[in-house]
């Protein structure tokens, strides 16, 4: 044990008010002494969809780095919500807006209330609408038929800081049946997306959309609740007038037994979206030390 470095971490569930629901994230505090390779190995050890590392920043109030088990993310939603929650509990963030520096840039993060409970909201950058994909090929990669995909929205990569393929489905039944062949879905080395987000319009009581999120081989197969993807999805759906209201709730995680709610609010005009506010709740589940 002599000379062993100790690093405190907190396990928090994001996008939920209930423990053991939503999306779990390990938040490693005071991680300046860890290099990127060690962070990646810790994320692989945690084996969660993402692990957050709090580092120093000269440009923002807080510096953060987010790693899946196989790569670093430029921007991510649920680790931001979890990190804000952990830092608020530790007295290092207070009500109001702070700035987080991550590889995608400087992101405003607000600590306040959502639906009467302590909540956290990040403002993601304006969306970039990138490459479109063949409907039949994407359907096959999801073990679906082309008719299971929404005929009005082509599969398309959208990024609010992290590029993800948006796939609108035609029914709740198709959402339930989706079973990705990940080797096929992520086979193209020239693809411009990190992961795949499938969603279907709900009835607004109380959710506007239901969603699922599939990660590439090596990562957690189905990410329970994804803030960055829901932000990009909201921008895509609103830009195409799939939903009229600019603020609504997305439910995700039902298919892996970890339901969570993502609150989104579109900024700017429908044809010139300036950003996406993505928010939710979080709860602390565990605290521990890494002994390295």
The residues that are catalytic are 50
DSSP symbol at 203 = -
* Nearest alpha-carbon partner for 170 in 147, 202, 154: 147
* Nearest alpha-carbon partner for 260 in 88, 77, 110: 77
Q: Residues 25, 78: contact at Cβ < 8 Å?
A: yes
Tokens standing for residue 271: 């044809």
Distance CA 8, CA 291 (A): 9
Distance CA 106, CA 230 (A): 19
């Amino acid at each position: 044990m002599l000379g062993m470095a100790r690093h405190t971490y907190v396990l928090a569930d994001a996008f939920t008010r209930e423990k053991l629901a939503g999306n779990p994230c390990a938040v490693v505090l005071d991680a300046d002494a860890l290099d990127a390779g060690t962070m990646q190995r810790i994320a692989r050890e945690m084996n969660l969809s993402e692990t957050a590392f709090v580092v120093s920043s000269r440009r923002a109030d807080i510096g953060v780095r987010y790693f899946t088990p196989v790569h670093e993310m430029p921007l991510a939603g649920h680790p931001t919500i979890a990190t804000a929650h952990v830092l608020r509990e530790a007295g290092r963030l207070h009500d109001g807006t702070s700035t987080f520096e991550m590889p995608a840039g400087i992101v405003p993060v607000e600590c306040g209330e959502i639906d009467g409970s302590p909540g956290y909201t990040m403002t993601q950058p304006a969306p970039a609408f990138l490459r479109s994909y063949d409907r039949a090929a994407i359907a096959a990669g999801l073990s679906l038929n082309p008719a299971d995909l929404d005929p009005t929205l082509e599969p398309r990569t959208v990024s609010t800081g992290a590029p993800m393929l948006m796939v609108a489905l035609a029914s709740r039944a198709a959402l339930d049946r989706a079973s990705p062949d990940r080797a096929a879905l992520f086979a193209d080395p020239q693809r411009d997306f990190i992961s795949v987000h499938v969603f279907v319009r709900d009835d607004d009581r109380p959710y506007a959309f239901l969603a699922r999120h599939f990660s590439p081989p090596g990562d957690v197969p189905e990410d329970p609740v994804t803030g960055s993807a829901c932000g990009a999805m909201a921008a895509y759906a609103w830009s195409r007038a799939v939903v009229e209201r600019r603020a609504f709730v997305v439910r995700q995680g039902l298919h892996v037994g970890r339901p969570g709610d993502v609150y989104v609010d579109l900024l700017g005009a429908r044809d010139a979206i300036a950003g996406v506010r993505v928010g939710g709740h979080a709860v602390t589940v565990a605290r521990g030390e890494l002994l390295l």
